[in-house]
Each structure stands twice: as C-alpha cells, then as structure tokens.
Amino acid sequence: MGTRLADDTIGRLPAKVSQPGLDRSTLTPGIVHLGVGAFHRAHQAMYVDQCLSAGQRDWGIIAASLRSPQTRDALQPQDGLYTLAVREGAEERLHVVGSILDLLVAPENPAALIAAMVDPAIRIISLTVTEKAYLRNADGHLDLNDPDIRNDLSDPENPRTIYGFIVEALVRRRAAGDAPFTVLSCDNLPANGKTLHRLLTEFAGQRSRELAEFVAREVSCPSTMVDRIVPATMEQDRARIADAIGMTDAWPVVTEPFSDWVIEDRFPQGRPEWERFGVTMVEDVAPFEIRKLRLLNGAHSAIAYIGQLLGLKTVSDAMAATDVRQFIDGLWRELIPTLPQDKGLEPQLYTAKLTARFSNTALNHLTAQIANDGSQKLPQRIIEAACERLSAGASAEYLSFVVAAWIAALQARSTEYAFSDPLDSQLAKIDFDASDHTQTVEVIFDTTGFAKAAQERSKLIQLVANQLKTIQTIGPKQALQKLTGKA
Ligand code: CS2
C-alpha cells in the first residue's frame, strides 16, 4: 500500500490540490449530518469546510450513515478527509475537504448516534437521505405500517429511521434542559422543511400528544433548496484522482462547477455564516425550490427514463441526441408557465444554464442513477405540474410522456434491474403487458398515490395511457419524434 490521504499525509499533497487552510485539531462539531452520501460531501460539507477555514471553528460535522458502513470504512482511516473533483470539459480542479470530523454507522451503534445528537454543542441536524427515507404513504402521511417506524415506536432506544433518531434525541435534550437543535432537510422534497416538520410531529404524536405539541412548537425545520449535480464515483475517477494527488483516496467525490444553496433563515441555535460563501439566506424558499424541482429535476427524470428506453447511458449522451434535446425544450415550455410569476426566477436564463450543465461530458452522470426511485420523485417533479396545467385547461403532453416513459422503462428493465424503486415488490405484481393501457396506468397511480387527491387524476391517467400505448406500439424513438415533430 502506498501513501493514503489522512491528516498526517495531507502536507505532501501537490500544490495544485487546494486544502483546508486550518489546523483540524482545533475544530469542534456543531452539526450531525444524517446520510453521508456523495451529494452531502460535494455540497453542504464543502460550504461548511469554507466556514471552518474562515475561522468558524465550532461547526465541524459528525457524519452518520443510516444504512451501510461503506463511507465510514473508506473515510475513517483518512480522518474524514476526501478529495472533491470539480470537472468540466477537460478541466479538473481538486480540493481536499476537511469538515467531516467523525463518522458513525447508525445500525452498528444507534446509541452512539443518539449520544452525538444529544450533545448540546450540536445545534443543527442536517439530512440528505433521499426521498424514500421520509417513509410517506400514498396519502403523504407518515407510513405507520412501515416496519422500521414500528420498530422506532416500540423500541425508541434503538431507532432505525430519521424520525426515531431525531425524536429520541429531542426527548433526551429536553429532559436535560437543553434547547432543541434545528433540523435541516437537504433532500429534493417539496417544502422539505415544512414537510419534515409535519412528519416529525406525526411521529412524535405516536409517542404522546404532549410531545407532538412540543415538536410542533419548538423545533425549527427551515426549508432549503440544494443544487449540485453529483454523479456516483467510478473506479476510473479513483484511479485518475490518486494519480493527480499522488496518494490513495478510497472515496473521492466528483461534481460540476455549479453549486447553489438557498436556505430559510430560521436557526434558533445559530448557524455557520454560510452567506459569506455564496449561500442565499431567504425568508421563503418556495419559488426557488419549485423552479429547481420542476425544471432541473423534472428534466433529469425525463432524460433518465427516455435515456433508459433509448439506450443512452449518460445525461450528456442524451443531451447530444437531437430528439431528446427537443423533448426537454418542449417539457420546459410546459413547465415554465406553472412556476410562480414575478419572482425574478428568470426561467429562460435558468434553462439555458441547465442545458449547459446537463451537457457537461466530464461528469458521466448515468441515466440509470437518476432513474432510481421514480415513484418518490415524479409527484413533485412532474405530476403536480401536469395536474395544474390540466386544471387550467392547458395541454400536458410532454409531462404525461415522462410518466409513460417511466412505466415503459420499468417494464423494459431486465431481471438484473438497471434501476430500482422502493415500491418494486408492489410494481412487480402489475401486468404491464395488459392490452388495456388505461387500466395498467390506473393501477400504477393507485399503487404510487400519484395525483391521489387531484380532480384531474382520470384525465392525466388517460393521457399517460395514450402515450404508453404509442411508446409500446411504435417504439420509444418514434413516439418521441411524433411528439417533438408536433412542437
Ligand atoms: C437527480 C438529482 O438523481 C436525481 O434524482 O435529479 O440528484 C440532481 O442531480 C440534484 O438534485 C441536482 O441538484
């Protein structure tokens, strides 16, 4: 084994690799982060790294995984250090991030994670756990039938879910006379803070009414819009980065130059001075969030499912295909009028930038990666906008095509699933080959809860069924051309 990135080797990094300008032994934790995936490490951990380097030394991160030990195993021997590779075209800028001070693996030792969260020095619990970890049922409420939620209610000292950990830590802080931490969801959910606050309150209400009232009243959950494209790290990235830094890094992270973070400024226990490093602190994040969820994430999902159907491996491959590119322009034409007006959102400028970001060939962002968890993503990215348009008497051809492409891509998956969905076991029971497309789509809407309470539900089902029929009859490429040819 050659040299490995760590505190005692960091001094040997070549000058072209930037690194935290600080003595890490003087840092103390102020944040516990749940979900230590690549996204957290390319985004929030980078902003905190800048704050620490600027002397805000008490905001270090204790990063916990709620599932696998992989990240801890890779980063603990490196003292939490890792390389962030910012790539565009032939250019790659390397920076070693030093804001993660410790790593925990919740299933191995839930008590250690609770203890970390109870420490009064911790003032923020942040989360990137993906949509599915919010464990909502088809009605959008907390899924009380979920076995992990049931576990957390019957055995609060050994939780498994975000709710179990957060609420147990809040109970203990309260008993010790310590103020609650702020809970900051950094996931792509609509009104993520508000939604998390409601679900936390529902969970607490299962323990006692009084606890629910306490959570509702005392726990601040600011909403936030997070934006940075972070593909999964590949073997070739590890090899290239090791070469460039002259030592091994078991888990570097690759990302794009663009990064954006808009946060509602409600942190009763304080926060890092993020605004010094390009973060926008606002009163209401909703307009920024809806623009991003629909224009960026909605287009991403479209590219993912169409890409899967057409055998296009990466987002930039898809953007280079004229039909797909035209489709995305058409999708944006449907989505833009659904955004709040007069908020300075500049959707034309925004989509022009997205076109450039999606076309970044250095990212190798796999369509299969984005295709995961469609049942959790499509409501806020596509379905809600489709219903709004239908209710206003407008067309929703592109939007309904995305849902049909998802269904067709689910059907086209081989047994070794290229992508997965938390509802896979229920989706597997559906007969995708049934001749009655409307019925198939209806069952899928029932299973996922899509458009459950919307008046436009049956209209949308009909549109999706028509698109699905076209895709199945003439093939995805022709179906796409038929649609974009009309525009
Ligand atoms: C993507 C997002 O995988 C996905 O669902 O749409 O992870 C996307 O890359 C980020 O939200 C960009 O900020």
Tell me the pLDDT band of 2, cut-offs 50, 70 and 90: confident
Q: Is 188 in the pocket of ligand 1 (CB under 6 A)?
A: yes
Predicted local distance difference test score (pLDDT) of residue 199: 98
**Do residues 69 and 108 touch, judged by C-beta distance below 8 A?**
yes
Ligand 1 atom nearest residue 370's Cα: 3
27: pLDDT strictly greater than 80: yes
426: pLDDT strictly greater than 90: yes
Q: Is 384 in the pocket of ligand 1 (CB under 6 A)?
A: no
Task: Give Cα separations from 86 to 33, 45, 96, 329, 458 (angstroms).
Answer: 22, 14, 11, 27, 45
Strand order from edge to edge, sheet including 91-97: 91-97, 82-88, 253-255
H or E element, residue 91: strand 91-97
Predicted local distance difference test score (pLDDT) of residue 285: 96
Predicted local distance difference test score (pLDDT) of residue 434: 79
What average pLDDT does this structure show over 7-31? Answer: 94
Q: Is 299 in the pocket of ligand 1 (CB under 6 A)?
A: no
- What CA–CA distance (Å, rounded) separates 97 from 52? 10
Predicted local distance difference test score (pLDDT) of residue 52: 97
Q: Is 118 in the pocket of ligand 1 (CB under 6 A)?
A: no
Closest CA to 6 of 97, 94, 79, 99: 79
Q: Is 227 in the pocket of ligand 1 (CB under 6 A)?
A: yes
- SS percent in the chain: helix, strand, coil, step 5: 50, 15, 35
Tell how far the Cα of 188 is from the centroid of ligand 1, in angstroms: 8
Q: Name which residue sits closest to atom 1 of ligand 1, judged by CA.
A: 370
- What CA–CA distance (Å, rounded) separates 375 from 377? 6
Tell how far the Cα of 229 is from the centroid of ligand 1, in angstroms: 6
Tell how far the Cα of 332 is from the centroid of ligand 1, in angstroms: 17
What one-character DSSP code corresponds to residue 93? E
Residue spans per domain, the chain: 10-282, 286-484
What does the buried/exposed string (b/e) look like for 28-67 if buried means 16 or more CB atoms within 10 Å of the residue's CB?
Answer: ebbbbbbbbbbbbbbbbbbbbbbbbbeebbbbbbbbbbbe
Encode pLDDT of 441-470 as tens digits: 999 999 999 999 999 999 999 999 999 999
What's the token pair of residue 455?
Answer: 């008046």
Predicted local distance difference test score (pLDDT) of residue 356: 98
What's the CATH class of domain 286-484? mainly alpha
Pocket test for ligand 1, best of 132, 370, 402 (most atoms within 8 A of CB): 370
* Max Cα distance, the chain (Å): 67
Pocket test for ligand 1, best of 188, 256, 258 (most atoms within 8 A of CB): 188
Tell how far the Cα of 178 is from the centroid of ligand 1, in angstroms: 36
55: pLDDT strictly greater than 80: yes
Task: Give the whole-number percent of the chain exceeding pLDDT 70.
Answer: 99
Predicted local distance difference test score (pLDDT) of residue 272: 98
308: pLDDT strictly greater than 60: yes
Q: Is 357 in the pocket of ligand 1 (CB under 6 A)?
A: no
What average pLDDT does this structure show over 323-351? Answer: 95
Tell me the pLDDT band of 394, cut-offs 50, 70 and 90: very high
Contacts of 235 (CB under 8 A, 6+ apart): none
**Do residues 271 and 183 touch, judged by C-beta distance below 8 A?**
no
Task: Give Cα separations from 41 to 53, 91, 134, 145, 378 (angstroms).
Answer: 16, 20, 20, 32, 25
Q: Is 469 in the pocket of ligand 1 (CB under 6 A)?
A: no
Predicted local distance difference test score (pLDDT) of residue 138: 85
Q: How far is CA 465 from the centre of its chain?
A: 29
Q: Name which residue sits closest to atom 11 of ligand 1, judged by CA.
A: 227
Q: Is 126 in the pocket of ligand 1 (CB under 6 A)?
A: no
72: pLDDT strictly greater than 70: yes
Which of 38-47, 301-310, 416-425 is predicted with the least confidence, judged by mean pLDDT? 416-425
What average pLDDT does this structure show over 280-299? Answer: 97
CA angle 30, 36, 42 (to 5 degrees): 90
Query: 87 in helix, strand or coil?
Result: strand
Nearest 5°: phi and psi at 184? -120, 100
227: pLDDT strictly greater than 60: yes
Q: Is 448 in the pocket of ligand 1 (CB under 6 A)?
A: no
21: pLDDT strictly greater than 90: no
Other Cβ atoms closer than 10 A to 339: 16
**Do residues 9 and 52 touch, judged by C-beta distance below 8 A?**
no
Q: Is 228 in the pocket of ligand 1 (CB under 6 A)?
A: yes
**Do residues 385 and 331 touch, judged by C-beta distance below 8 A?**
no
Q: Name which residue sits closest to atom 9 of ligand 1, judged by CA.
A: 229
Q: Is 370 in the pocket of ligand 1 (CB under 6 A)?
A: yes
Tell how far the Cα of 370 is from the centroid of ligand 1, in angstroms: 7
Mean pLDDT of the chain: 96
Q: Name which residue sits closest to atom 10 of ligand 1, judged by CA.
A: 229
Predicted local distance difference test score (pLDDT) of residue 417: 75
Tell how far the Cα of 109 is from the centroid of ligand 1, in angstroms: 30
Q: What is the DSSP string of 12-80?
A: GS-TTSB---S-GGG--EEEEEE--SHHHHHTHHHHHHHHHHTT-TT-EEEEEESS-SHHHHHHGGGTT
Ligand 1 atom nearest residue 39's Cα: 7
Predicted local distance difference test score (pLDDT) of residue 216: 98
Q: What is the DSSP string of 102-163?
A: EEEETTT-HHHHHHHHHSTT--EEEE---GGGG-B-TTSSB-TT-HHHHHHHH-TTS--SHH
Pocket test for ligand 1, best of 44, 128, 300 (most atoms within 8 A of CB): 300
Q: Is 229 in the pocket of ligand 1 (CB under 6 A)?
A: yes
1: pLDDT strictly greater than 80: no
141: pLDDT strictly greater than 60: yes
Nearest 5°: phi and psi at 78? -105, 15
- What CA–CA distance (Å, rounded) separates 149 from 142? 9
Q: Is 43 in the pocket of ligand 1 (CB under 6 A)?
A: no
What's the CATH class of domain 10-282? alpha beta
Rg (CA), the chain: 23
H or E element, residue 226: strand 224-227
**Do residues 115 and 33 touch, judged by C-beta distance below 8 A?**
no
Tell me the pLDDT band of 416, cut-offs 50, 70 and 90: low
Residue where the block lists tokens 């934790």: 29
Predicted local distance difference test score (pLDDT) of residue 486: 65
